[in-house]
Structure 1
Amino acid sequence: KTGHSHASAVASLAADSGAGRLILVHADPQKTDDDPIGLPAIQKIFPNTVLAEDLMEIQF
């Protein structure tokens, strides 16, 4: 309903496609806790997952 993918589905896609890492963005701004997406659960599906931060630099 929001037009966004669930993080678990994206993690499964990353695992199935052989991606090297997954950097998630657009977490729910209304969540005020330190883990707005449930990162540990996502990392069980695809371990090399991080939540992007403002001004984060990504080396390729």
Structure 2
Amino acid sequence: MAVGLGTLWLTGAAFAGSPDSRDRIQRDLDAMTRHDLCARDDAELKRLHRDLSKPSAARVGAKR
């Protein structure tokens, strides 16, 4: 919720400021987006690693 409100604040400020401040705000928004995507990727990679680390039913059945 706070991120959404911060984004709205930054977006509103972008329309009111000078071109330099709009560029700075756009860079900040881009950085937040990259950070969010990286955090999502890390979570997905952890989930994939955990799933691949579990013995599958096929491998467990083949050992018997």
TM-score by length of 1: 0.30
Higher strand share: 1
Higher helix share: 2
Larger RCO (CA within 8 A; separation ≥ 6)? 1
